[in-house]
Amino acid sequence: MSEEKSKNDKIYRKVYILSDPGLIYPFIPGTVSGFIVKKGDAVVKGDQLFILDAMKMNNIVLSPIDGVVKKINVKIGEKVSKNDVILEIE
């Protein structure tokens, strides 16, 4: 990640924007413990998608966009890394 200096010599990081917001990645490595949606479900921005167990916490991952769940790529209980696509929304 690159850094930029402002007029006040503070360092700010550039915001990382996914090229395809319909591909849902975990924000941290963990285990998928449950899905709240299934293939074909319509979702709106902010809807709960799945539960990720990471760092001894249950994290509920929310939808960043409106759409329909196109594909679920993992099974419950599967360990995932930060670069794995958990599900796809179109």
Q: Could you give the residue ranges of the DSSP H alpha helices within 1-90?
A: none
pLDDT for 25: 87
- Residue 61: CB atoms within 10 A of its CB come to 18
Task: Check residues 7 and 29 and name the one with the higher pLDDT.
Answer: 29
Does the structure show a pLDDT above 70 at 7? no
Is 20-89 CATH 3.50.50.60? no
pLDDT for 55: 86
Beta bridge partners of 42: 68
pLDDT over 90 percentage in the chain = 60
The pLDDT tens digits for 24-51 are 988 889 999 999 999 999 999 999 999 9
**φ, ψ dihedrals at 57, nearest 5°:** -135, 150
Query: What is the pTM (predicted TM-score) of this model?
Result: 0.75
* Domain extent listing, the chain: 20-89
